[in-house]
Chains A and B, each alone.
Chain A
Amino acid sequence: MFFNSIEFAIFLPIVFLLYWFVFNRSLRLQNAFLVTASYFFYGFWDWRFLFLIAFSSLVDYTIGLLLGRFERDSVRRALLITTLSVNLGFLGFFKYFNFFSLSFARAFTFFGMPIDDPILLEIILPVGISFYTFQTLSYSIDIYRGKLKPTKDIVAFFAFVSFFPQLVAGPIERAKNLLPQILKRRQFNSEKAVDGMRQILWGLFKKILIADHCAVYANQIFANYESYSGSTLLLGAVMFGLQIYCDFSGYSDIAIGTARLFGISLMKNFAFPYFSRDIAEFWRRWHISLSTWFRDYVYIPLGGSQSSRGKCIRNIFIIFIISGFWHGAKWTFIVWGAINALYFIPLMLASRNRNNLDTVAEGKRLPSINEMLQMAMTFFIVTIAWVFFRSPSVMSAVEYIQGIFTASMLSMPTVEIAKLDIILLLVFFATEWFQREKEHGLQMSHGPKGRLVRWIIYYALFSLILNNKADPQQFIYFQF
């Protein structure tokens, strides 16, 4: 069930009403209903996936309890290895088996030992497996590290793993944040719910009117990149950059807004990343739940930035390459990760990776020329890296980028952007810019003042969404 589907538009109000009016008599009942609704939501794709998520939840619930009971290091380590093996084993099998099988076959062929018929499995990648695997892992790791106490409430734990707003594409929640909210009786907060609705509306706007519209241009240009001028290829890359941002952050906005309707606060996943002044700031603002996950569970245990310069560089490469690989079993994602590491390392070596911790032009209407140039440069290098993310192979990405850096980059793009799309992009950028210090693009003051303006905005956005003509595209991050 997609967030931008009619099925979800029917599902959400029904679940909302049952949650607050029928199953609100006890916390356990409400949580049991949350699990049922979440499993229905997830099973809508393929009911067979439910066994996998249920098994994964059961393993981590049990391991969590055992970690809480045993104090001996060797036992605890064995338990941690068990959960890591089970969870990463599933992920590896479903997501990476064919990749490794093919890569080994190619490697053997390269060394003169050809494998003509590598073992390949016809397996469907369960939706959201990368997201919920990381979520359950964080629970067990935190208990192992003594940062979290295990829960005995199995229903609450299952609700934590499967909570439908963030189940298939994040934000990847930490047990420390989400579990206590599920274990506590929720109170409906009208103000938060209204803001949640606004965030859902903004998310739908970004997904349906920006991402899906940009996808049309990006798909066209990437599909025939050999025949386009440098400027058109650059336009295609920019369009993909906007598509992926609006697609994924739009999804996160809908997820966070939906969770608010159920009295649950999810972590922020995007913080206006295209207004970043350097790549380090970009990575603090992009897919925050994944970046912080890797920081806490991979980067810091490896020594982080507190080790020798060589090790620091190694750690940066590891974290970015794993991050790329997390997105999918393709060399293009790995190269994309490596490129971002290359962008990041000079900043770290110059100790300038924590220069821009505030919001750009804080308290001001417009940025300075210097800030504008910094943002444009960051956007440009991020866009170039996106070419690898979007291309079907590393070779085609290289050719695409070579195509950009030709004399034709200075010509007018041959693909024309529709006037309506230009207007929508301007509205989007202006809104994001003026709201950059807020939680999301439509966060507004609550109260009678300005009510008319607010309602006009709601009607305008909703009407535009309803009348959208572009073909609906699947959320990009569902494939991860």
Chain B
Amino acid sequence: MKSFLTKIALFAGSYFAAFILLECMPGNPHPDSLHYAVIDKHELLRKTENQPRVLLVGGSNISFGIYSPKMEETLGMPVIDTAINAGYGLKYILDDIEPFIRKGDIVIVMPEYHHFYDELFWGSTATFDGLRTTPENVRNIGLKQATVLAKDYPQRAKSNLRFCYATLTDSVPEPTHPHRRDSFNANGDIEAHWKIEGWDHLEGSQIDGPYNPATIDYLSRFVKSAEKKGAHVYISFPTYSEGSFGDKENKESIDKIYKELYAGDFKLLGTPARYSFPDSLYFNSHYHPYKEGQLMRTERLIEDLRNALSAVADSTKD
């Protein structure tokens, strides 16, 4: 038994040691990559914590799809776009933002539809990028989340290995716009993609996998916790190209999400259809609109938020 356990420990241990070693190597993700924008966003959240703000929470559908200066101008209060990458998983995103929520904040969560299906809610390889830039978030990783992330770890290790090789050979590729830390504006949105051309072909996007009830449960928990702090939480919908939105199976998946959110008694802003625009307004993803789509969506969100806020004001008067 002793020799057997020694062999197993040696085999597993050598893998584990290699993973740790690779994880300790610098460079993955690149210091100029968009993942490091979280530092600037956290800084912005700290700086503005003494006044009520609008906090936009979600994945890149927000950073590419909302123009916060416009919202700020219309609503007359600071708007902070906290979003970076949906691949972190909605749980990670909500856990990351929760400590920054203060009394009077208006929090608008706009999860990607994929967060409600399969295991993206728990995270993906991108979560490791998030953990590298914000190591303190490791304390929020739960057992189930760790299990899901463990499945993705080999891919992460491979990426670490590639980075390690590139560092040794001095060939680390520089991240390009719009996936850079300096692509974000002062509010945390990306504008760098407005002038990028050559993205005229979008592959079809499919919402795959089984429905994951954990997403709604966790959202509900998040709403309760934020409201306990005195914040107002709204759930809205991502912008999603008409081509993908119109797909029969996707439509059924999105309808299911809407029904569940509606039944869950969340405060909803708009409908999924309201934020879906023609394919020509999107560039490298069905969640990433060009400038025109970004501005259209922003205007609709402002309108929906205003209606919701005035409804609240009216009910308070009554």
Contacts and interface: CB of A to CB of B under 8 A. Distances in A.
B1 A467 contact: no
B155 A190 contact: no
Given A458-B11, A462-B15, A467-B155, A190 B150 contact: no
Contact of A7 (B15, B147, B155, B157): B147
B4 A194 contact: yes
Contact of A190 (B1, B11, B15, B154): B1
Interface string A449-479: 0000001001000100011010000000000
Given A6-B150, A467-B154, A467-B155, A197 B1 contact: no
Interface residues of A, number: 15
Contacts of A467: 154-155, 158
A188 interface: yes
A7 B155 CA distance: 18
Contacts of B11: 455, 458, 462
Interface in A190-224: 190, 193-194, 197
Interface in B1-21: 1, 3-4, 7-8, 11, 15
B201 interface: no
A113 interface: no
Contact of A194 (B7, B150, B158): B7
A10 interface: yes
Contacts of B4: 188, 190, 193-194
Interface in A3-24: 6-7, 10, 20
B151 interface: yes
A193 B8 CA distance: 11
Contacts of B155: 467, 469
Interface residues of B, number: 15
A404 B147 CA distance: 44
B15 A20 contact: no
A466 B16 CA distance: 13
A197 B154 CA distance: 20
Contacts of B15: 462
A462 B10 CA distance: 14
Interface string A147-185: 000000000000000000000000000000000000000
A182 to B, nearest CB: 20
User: Interface on chain B toward A: helix, strand, loop, or mixed SS?
Assistant: helix
B69 to A, nearest CB: 41
A6 B155 CA distance: 15
Nearest to A188: B1
A467 B153 CA distance: 9
Contacts of B147: 6-7, 10
B240 to A, nearest CB: 23
A353 B158 CA distance: 51
Interface string B134-171: 00000000000001101100110110000000000000
Contacts of A194: 4, 7
A193 B1 CA distance: 9
Contacts of A193: 4
A10 B154 CA distance: 16
Contacts of A462: 11, 15
B120 to A, nearest CB: 14
A20 B1 contact: yes
A340 to B, nearest CB: 35
Contacts of A455: 11
Contacts of B148: 6
A466 B4 CA distance: 22
A469 B159 CA distance: 13
A206 to B, nearest CB: 19
Nearest to B149: A6
A197 B8 contact: yes
Given A190-B1, A190-B3, A466 B8 contact: no
A466 B153 CA distance: 9
Contacts of B7: 194
A20 B1 CA distance: 9
A193 B5 CA distance: 10
Most buried by A among B1, B3, B4, B11: B4
Nearest to A471: B208
Contacts of B158: 467
A188 B4 CA distance: 10
Given A20-B1, A190-B1, A458-B11, A466 B154 contact: yes
A7 B148 CA distance: 10
A215 to B, nearest CB: 16
A417 to B, nearest CB: 22
Interface string B3-45: 1100110010001000000000000000000000000000000
Nearest to B153: A466
Nearest to A455: B11
A197 B5 CA distance: 12
A62 B1 CA distance: 38
B145 to A, nearest CB: 12
A194 B10 CA distance: 13
A120 B1 CA distance: 53
A356 to B, nearest CB: 38
Contacts of A7: 147
A467 B155 CA distance: 6
A3 to B, nearest CB: 14
Contacts of B151: 6
A72 to B, nearest CB: 50
A6 B150 CA distance: 7
Contacts of A188: 1, 4
A365 B271 CA distance: 68
A342 B92 CA distance: 59
B206 to A, nearest CB: 12
Contacts of B3: 190
Contacts of B150: 6
Nearest to B3: A190
A7 B144 CA distance: 10
Nearest to A17: B5
A191 to B, nearest CB: 9
Nearest to A466: B154
B207 to A, nearest CB: 15
A462 B15 CA distance: 10
Interface of A: 6-7, 10, 20, 188, 190, 193-194, 197, 455, 458, 462, 466-467, 469
7 contacts: A6-B147, A6-B148, A6-B151, A188-B1, A458-B11, A462-B15, A467-B154
Interface of B: 1, 3-4, 7-8, 11, 15, 147-148, 150-151, 154-155, 157-158
- By Cβ-Cβ distance, the 7 closest A-B pairs, closest first, are A466-B154, A190-B4, A188-B1, A193-B4, A6-B150, A6-B147, A467-B154
Given A188-B4, A462-B15, 20 more contacts: A6-B147, A6-B148, A6-B150, A7-B147, A10-B147, A20-B1, A188-B1, A190-B1, A190-B4, A193-B4, A194-B4, A194-B7, A197-B8, A458-B11, A462-B11, A466-B154, A466-B157, A467-B154, A467-B158, A469-B155
